[in-house]
Amino acid sequence: MLLNVSHIYKSFGEDAIIKDATFAVDEGSKVAIVGNNGTGKSTLLKIIIGQLSADEGEVTLKKDATFGYLAQYQEDSFGSNILDTVLSAREDLLSMEQKLADMETQMGQLDSSEMSSFMEAYHKLQHQFDMLGGYTFRSEAIGILKGLGFEGEDLNKSMSELSGGQKTRVSLGRLLASAPDLLLLDEPINHLDLNSIMWLEGYLAAYKGAVIIVAHDRYFLDKIADHVVDLSYGRTSVYKGNYTEFVAQKELFQLSYERSYEKQQAEIAHQKAVIEKLQSYNREKSIKRAESRKKLLDKMDVMDAPDKDAPKMRLTLEIEKESGKDVLEFSHVTKHYDDKLIFSDLSFDVHKGDRIAILGDNGTGKTTILKCINNLIDFESGEIRFGANVTVGYYDQEQQGLTETNTIFSELHDAYPFLTETKVRNTLAAFMFTEDDVYKRISELSGGERGRVSLAKLMLSKSNFLILDEPTNHLDMDSKQMLEEALNDYDGTLLYVSHDRYFVNKTANIILELSDSGFTKYLGNYDDYIAKKEQLYGNTDAATSASNAEAPTAAKLDYKEQKRIEAEKRKIQNRILKIEEEIESLESKKSAIDEEFVLPENASNSAKLNELYAKQQEIEKKLGQLYDEWEELSSTI
């Protein structure tokens, strides 16, 4: 065991942030700490490294183990330029390197009597330098910086010239070059482009030391984590596997916990009913039996109520009317900003039922395309035409559609004046705005709150064509999951821009990759897109390969194979839905049996109780089989 975190508690004033955090990290393990905003993830990292003190609990690091920490916001500078800053992570090697150079200078000044012992000391230091990686650490540092987006003349840039985001990248490079036994990374990819993120995924996955990561990029966590620590409601639960496996396990655990809780509550109610019945006989023997049962009941370790009632966003996307088959024609469109060409002669079509994600490097014009479609900016040439009966709902990442002086309540009521006050309040409650919160001004809201207001307006629009620009920005993980589920249940058409690869993987069935040469179309989700790019270009960075080769046409893609994969996925998804329906039906039957157990006419009828028990066991067995099958199938998609 490399690190042990035991029963950590931490409060700020009257607010208890961490209420009981306990987990361990083994050598070489990759651990993700997840939880919604404000649950104390960054605070826990600071407690582990000793930057903050815990109110209670203990953190133990293996003797002589080293650790390195990257904060979300990094301003420290360690050297005159970028390369020197990263190299300074290995002061031991720099010192040895200088000593070797000094010794080499001295060699020509020694007489023969001194040379033997001098050369022995020199070769000993040289061997030590070699064993510690002295002859490769410069090239490794340059490789790390290249992976993080710095190369060529960038390496000689002064640290004083860099932005805060660039300094954070350099600090990450310095930390990686130091190669500690334990890396603690707080949002390490906030200032990285997709190429650098993919490079870092590979680097951390192969890293020999242990890693603890706090990040909101769920695809990133999927690629790296082998354990997930869920810090929900201030307490930790540890799951084995990556983020996707954690989500499935947590859902199963919650279902199992709720079933156990309900079963225990039914047992408590049954015992109380029996005790009350025994007491009503008012006989010494029955009273003693009642007291005996009461003592057992008092000793019972009563489970806490499940957290299912904790506030979560509730989103349902419906359409008022269906569109025609052809939803959008974006034909030969060209757009400049001043003298700069953004894109030229760009074309694509959207058909009913499509779920299209537009991907591409920053600056290629992805958001500009959405703004052109929504008539928010002009374009120089080409045509944008909607199909029959198309109604558009637009989610703007900049939230420019919100009126800053409005309250949350008036923002919805002004957009939908036909809604009653009760309907508006109920809608806002579904997005976690209750009581006096609805009278907050839009200008006072956080990014996440503004995002939830925009999603509430989108839900009320009942549009059959949703156009979304970075919809998961500022949303916590639970809200992202709610949005993904709502979009997967949505009967309309979807076009969006997103950097959230996990979101794209869950919701897209078509990828449009935008590059200087135009659009390349890929059928399937993000995983399918990456697999197809590796197949086309070899095992290279998928994000950069299109710029290094001529973009393939859609005809080059193996259409039949992709359709077969999609059909297989649909088959599995349909079976999962059928299993979930069976589980719901059996759970209802089990609840009905639980109610029969406590009926007065059954309490003393042993034959009836045996019959009910047999039925209950049969249902429990079937439920167990269904849960096992559900888990197995869910892990394949």
Q: Mean pLDDT of all residues in the chain?
A: 85
Measuring CA to CA, how many Å separate 526 from each of 183, 200, 359, 511?
Answer: 28, 18, 10, 7
Residue 115 — pLDDT band, cuts 50, 70, 90? confident
Residue 539 — pLDDT band, cuts 50, 70, 90? low
Residue 236, strand partner residues: 231
More confident site: 399 or 9: 9
Q: What is the CA radius of gyration of the chain?
A: 31
- How confident is the model at residue 76, as a pLDDT? 57
Return all residues near 26 (Cβ < 8 A) that are at least 6 apart.
Answer: 1, 2, 210
pLDDT average, residue stretch 318-344: 91
Short-list 403, 478, 449, 412, CA closest to 231: 478
pLDDT average, residue stretch 587-605: 79
- How confident is the model at residue 566, as a pLDDT? 67
- How confident is the model at residue 110, as a pLDDT? 78
- How confident is the model at residue 314, as a pLDDT? 81
Kindly state the percentage of the chain with pLDDT values over 70.
Answer: 92
Return all residues near 10 (Cβ < 8 A) that are at least 6 apart.
Answer: 16, 17, 18, 40, 43, 44, 47, 52, 54, 55
Return all residues near 96 (Cβ < 8 A) that are at least 6 apart.
Answer: 125, 128, 129, 132, 134
> Is pLDDT above 80 for 148?
yes
Class of domain 558-637: mainly alpha
> Is pLDDT above 80 for 218?
yes
Please give the DSSP secondary-structure letter assigned to residue 305: P
- How confident is the model at residue 545, as a pLDDT? 41
- How confident is the model at residue 77, as a pLDDT? 54
Residue 635 — pLDDT band, cuts 50, 70, 90? low
pTM of the model: 0.69
Backbone CA torsion sign across 463, 469, 472, 474: negative
> Is pLDDT above 90 for 156?
no
Residue extents of the structural domains in the chain: 259-310, 326-391+462-557, 558-637
Residue 20, strand partner residues: 235
Kindly state the percentage of the chain with pLDDT values over 90.
Answer: 34
- How confident is the model at residue 588, as a pLDDT? 83
Lowest mean pLDDT among 31-35, 145-149, 598-602: 598-602
More confident site: 57 or 35: 57
CATH of domain 326-391+462-557: 3.40.50.300
- Residues 504 and 357: beta-carbon distance below 8 Å: yes
- How confident is the model at residue 610, as a pLDDT? 81
- How confident is the model at residue 363, as a pLDDT? 77
pLDDT average, residue stretch 92-97: 90
Please give the DSSP secondary-structure letter assigned to residue 275: H
Return all residues near 69 (Cβ < 8 A) that are at least 6 apart.
Answer: 45, 49, 51, 175, 184, 186
pLDDT average, residue stretch 34-57: 89
Residue 593 — pLDDT band, cuts 50, 70, 90? confident
- How confident is the model at residue 327, as a pLDDT? 95
Residue 387 — pLDDT band, cuts 50, 70, 90? very high
- How confident is the model at residue 308, as a pLDDT? 57
User: What are 173-184's pLDDT values in tens digits?
Assistant: 999 999 999 999
User: What are 546-584's pLDDT values in tens digits?
Assistant: 333 333 333 334 445 556 676 777 788 788 788 878 887
User: What are 486-527's pLDDT values in tens digits?
Assistant: 999 999 999 999 989 999 999 999 999 998 888 999 999 999
DSSP string covering 439-452: GSBGGG--HHHHHH
Residues 266 and 271: their CA atoms lie apart, in Å, by 9
More confident site: 550 or 85: 85
Beta strands in 97-202 (DSSP E): 182-186
Short-list 223, 250, 240, 210, CA closest to 48: 210
Domains 326-391+462-557 and 558-637 share a fold: no
- Residues 377 and 371: beta-carbon distance below 8 Å: yes
- Residues 321 and 389: beta-carbon distance below 8 Å: yes
Helices (H), 329-438: 366-373, 408-415, 421-430
Residue 88 — pLDDT band, cuts 50, 70, 90? confident
- How confident is the model at residue 590, as a pLDDT? 83
- Residues 216 and 41: beta-carbon distance below 8 Å: no
> Is pLDDT above 50 for 349?
yes
Short-list 234, 201, 238, 226, CA closest to 23: 238
> Is pLDDT above 70 for 350?
yes
Residues 246 and 229: their CA atoms lie apart, in Å, by 9
- Residues 458 and 395: beta-carbon distance below 8 Å: yes
More confident site: 391 or 445: 391
- How confident is the model at residue 553, as a pLDDT? 38
